[in-house]
Amino acid sequence: MAKKEAEAPVRDPKTFKLKVTVGPTISLEDQCRLLGVEYVLDSSRLGEWPDKKAFKRPEMPYEICVQDGKDNVGKSFDKVRLAPNERRPSALEGLAVFAKTPDILDDHGLILTGTTVGPYDVVILHKVKGKIRMEPYSVTFVDEKAGIVTCSR
């Protein structure tokens, strides 16, 4: 008999540590440039992680509540369970977290699993040798200095 996986508990909205405004009217690449982030992604390969609950990101500025990934530092992609009221944030949403709290990258990188890069990678926003970079990140890799970010639906 197959072992049934435990369901993630519904996360109390009070536990989302940060509220950010996301501006989708400016491209990800342009926002990176404006914020001094080195953009190491091929925009033609970017997509969205499939969302079973069919979340559609608004085209106008919007707010989200975010778990900043600190609780998920060093955890593998398959070990982070989303609660029913959570979803995977996009690279643009992660950039909004950085814009509001730039010092966060001194503590840990942000793994943004809502944006895919080709068939097997997602996005990481982190500091490398003092420079802030947004680049592909393999879902099979575990980074001891980065955490998977989640956000509210």
Q: Give dist(CA 115, CA 111) in Å, integer.
A: 10
Q: Which sign, positive or negative, has the C-alpha torsion 42, 91, 130, 21? A: positive
**What pLDDT score was predicted for residue 1?**
46
Question: Which residues have a Cβ under 8 Å from the Cβ of 72 and sit 6 or more positions away?
Answer: 80, 111, 147, 148, 149, 150
**What pLDDT score was predicted for residue 62?**
92
- Position 45: which residue type? R
> pTM above 0.85?
yes
72 phi/psi in degrees, rounded to 5: -110, 10
In order along its 153 residues, the chain shows pLDDT tens digits of 444 444 544 555 556 778 999 999 999 999 999 999 999 999 999 988 776 666 777 889 999 999 889 989 999 888 888 888 888 999 999 999 999 999 999 999 999 999 999 888 999 999 999 999 999 999 888 999 999 999 887
